[in-house]
Amino acid sequence: MAHIVFFLHLVWDFVESDFITFAVPNTAFGVLGAIASSGKITTNQTRRIMLFVIPGTLALNYALGPWRQGVFIMVLTWLYNDLGGGDELFLRELIIAVAYGLFNSGSLDVATGPGNSLSPIGVVWTSIISGIILTTMQVQDLRVIGNAAARL
């Protein structure tokens, strides 16, 4: 069941990344982008799909328990993609670290089952992993920054 939630979040992330223009980006899987670029699905059809995927994802998150994390992950996706948070150096790392923390704590909520909450050790673990991500994400940008400088 956790795989279904993760897949629905992937669909949300991939389709929502250009949601202002109702465009489907080319994804790592190439599936959604290939369908849109081949003309088999229009931007309006994509918008209509999202009208069902978003509430479905929220309902599934609520049923499984990590609904708070799911809502905040969708907000972070919107901040990162549509509001350009992914283009700001430190804000990008902060959004990614918080999102990973939410994914981690949501996974722990699903694993522990209904009626259980995240233990203090779980909170510490999630915080440590998020802190590591926050402080190391910029290393992945070094190659991109170097390539951009070489083009100037």
Residue 23, SS3 per DSSP: strand
What does the pLDDT read at residue 84?
Answer: 81
Any idea what DSSP says for residue 18? B
Cβ–Cβ < 8 Å for 86, 92 = yes
- Render pLDDT for 50-67 as a digit per residue (tens, 0 to 9): 788 888 888 887 887 777
Residues of the chain with pLDDT below 50 are 18-30
Whole-prediction pTM: 0.57
End-to-end CA distance of the chain: 48
| Domain definitions of the chain by residue range | 1-64, 67-152
Q: Per this entry, what is the length of the chain?
A: 152
Residue 53, SS3 per DSSP: helix
